[in-house]
Structure 1
């Protein structure tokens, strides 16, 4: 029995996922498989590090030091063959916070920002809240049921003189697509050509499935790195989102200074003590746990594929190359997203993310979080079958 088979009751822990379905979906008695956190305990080494800090009993001002820098640089080198300069590291409570600050730092209300839907919806929602115009470079489905980039349209949008920022999602959320080095090189060179800054959200990069390889866009060539801010975190990898600890890698000194100025402007200049301890422990000691997790997630992907083939053959998934999020294609049912949500919540008693949340071209899709024990996953799949049949 795997450690990830343990079903842990998360109710009454103020879990957004488990305790707030009434507020978010309007119903309470549903199985939540929507928001991107896992139903697994963090690695034992992380929990031990937190106990050590708590037992010490003093929680004064702290600042990540050289040990943290070593942990981050060693992790990126060992897991992704990416050697970084520790001086490029900046800390942030979260990647959404980091992206919001980057928008404030590097664009004005006259500027435009390019995103690639269907994509993690805070990208365009935050840009809109900053009163920036959003340009949508829609991803295209190819004959192999994988997303591809429309590079002709992308260059057209990047060439707009008002376009100043491009937000990349690598690996891609919600589809789990890992962009190839060739695709990323093409993106990077286009952004250099048109002087557009790249914000690359790489939060799912550790969760590589089925032997897929991740390339950080900033690792490809120096001129791309100098025009890129890369966002990483242990939060998805080790289920630490509530501890609010993430990292920006900014090789360009002038960009880093400007970003740090905005951090100071808003008084958001670091990460909390427990978040720092958890991050360091995860990157120093979490590799074996992550290897076991990846194996378990792969098994869950195969389980859902087999279940759908046997029980819902009209429904298919886009096999994720990374992440624990599965993009489910239900377009064959010819239901509107509103109808799908009604069926899921009221008939199936299942809470999923509806595809249009990620952009108009996400209509007819559902996003399911499969980072849960197989018992929970089978429950969710049975509920999906009830909802859709």
Structure 2
């Protein structure tokens, strides 16, 4: 038993949680185990709850200034955890990474411009450009025996022929959980620099590295990467504080950064709330031990899932993540068409997972399982699925 209790079952129903209180809206029924939305059902680190409680006790919630200590907590974390040197001028606040992607799409591109993505991938990478009238270009990942790899030849072909203004990179990759290696990221940077493509690097899962894997910040791999990169990150997934909306954006290249940061500032898109600042400082400065213990717990859950799936559902392949608390399940061995697969999960097993097809047509036959839960909840879900399949 560690310092923190990740086995505690916490009922979130009735708190306005998207994960539990929107089940009927998204799945047509509310009696499901909620294993979909990418937040965890673990209690936040006590230090965060204490810091917020102390601040909330003050009876005035007025406009907030941004202390230097807030920026120091982020840059110190990036240096300490990932070996990445970020200066104060390189960074600004954004109120959520998807919003940040929307800001970049609207500032750097015009309707009809091409935006490149690599499915199967986090669905807002498709929804945000398309919803803003941009043209989507896909360079699908190539399946391998234990995951996926980038199609770098296809990437160059797409950049040369389709001439995208932006590429959206997921690093580590969601939903697959891959941390791209340095050589791959260097080649992405070389191609982007060659063809004049700005690369948005979504690194929200960077702190959730598993099994001794190391996060490689895209902007750090080469001078070319630093020239083309717009990096987004946050403490939200790391410390289970997504509802507080505290994200950040790093741009090393002043030719990309200066006008964009000015635009964010004059429109007050980059003004953090005092609650976001309080939680971020506390998380990055005081809660690293909570994170390390949580990641050990997640690794134990992955192992338990692999064992139980092999025993009860040998037709399903568990793709072990290198990062994050999500598992990409290859369910094609069940021999079910995609609609029937979803029906088995929802209406027979009473489970709410993310439908793999939402990440692109390449995800058909797959499901994304959130294991940021007490282990008993996750294993009971596997047993329920096995019974439903039988």
User: TM-score w.r.t. structure 2 length?
Assistant: 0.97
Alignment of 1:206 onto 2:207 = yes
| Cα RMSD for the two superposed structures | 1.3
Q: Which moved more, 1:231-240 or 1:372-381?
A: 372-381
Alignment of 1:254 onto 2:274 = no
Q: CA deviation at 1:271?
A: 1.9
Asked if the contact 2:213–2:322 (Cα under 8 Å) also holds between the matched residues in 1, the reply is yes
Q: Distance in 2 between matches of 1:52 and 1:89?
A: 28
Q: CA deviation at 1:172?
A: 0.4
The 5 Å alignment of 1:181-192 reads: 181-192=182-193
The one of 111, 117, 120 aligned to 1:118 = 120
Q: CA deviation at 1:69?
A: 1.4
Alignment of 1:244 onto 2:249 = no
Q: Which moved more, 1:69-78 or 1:218-227?
A: 218-227
Q: Distance in 2 between matches of 1:382 and 1:167?
A: 37
Q: Which moved more, 1:216-225 or 1:34-43?
A: 216-225
Q: CA deviation at 1:266?
A: 5.0
Alignment of 1:325 onto 2:307 = no
Q: Deviations over 1:348-389 (max 9, x none)?
A: 000111111000111111000000001211221122212322
Q: CA deviation at 1:180?
A: 0.2
Aligned to 1:306: 307
Q: Which moved more, 1:364-373 or 1:55-64?
A: 55-64
Q: Distance in 1 between matches of 2:270 and 2:291?
A: 29
The one of 25, 45, 59 aligned to 1:43 = 45
Q: Which moved more, 1:46-55 or 1:117-126?
A: 46-55
Aligned to 1:284: 285
Alignment of 1:157 onto 2:181 = no
Aligned to 1:78: 80
Q: Deviations over 1:3-61 (max 9, x none)?
A: 10111111111110011101111101111101100001111111111012101222111
Alignment of 1:57 onto 2:59 = yes
Aligned to 2:347: 346
The one of 19, 25, 35 aligned to 2:21 = 19
Asked if the contact 2:205–2:323 (Cα under 8 Å) also holds between the matched residues in 1, the reply is yes
Asked if the contact 2:312–2:383 (Cα under 8 Å) also holds between the matched residues in 1, the reply is no
Gaps of 5+ in 1: none
Q: Deviations over 1:238-270 (max 9, x none)?
A: 001000110000112232233234435654232
Asked if the contact 2:118–2:138 (Cα under 8 Å) also holds between the matched residues in 1, the reply is yes
User: TM-score w.r.t. structure 1 length?
Assistant: 0.97
Asked if the contact 2:193–2:227 (Cα under 8 Å) also holds between the matched residues in 1, the reply is no
Q: Secondary structure at the match of 1:134?
A: strand
Q: Distance in 2 between matches of 1:269 and 1:82?
A: 22
Q: Secondary structure at the match of 1:160?
A: helix
Query: Once superposed, which parts of structure 1, at least 4 consecutive aligned residues long, lie more than 6 Å away?
Result: none
1:196–1:311 distance in 2 versus 1, CA, 3 Å:
same
1:161–1:18 distance in 2 versus 1, CA, 3 Å:
closer
Q: Deviations over 1:205-256 (max 9, x none)?
A: 0000011111001011233112101000000000010001100001122322
Aligned to 1:103: 105
Aligned to 2:275: 274
Gaps of 5+ in 2: none
Aligned to 2:389: 388
Q: Secondary structure at the match of 2:161?
A: coil
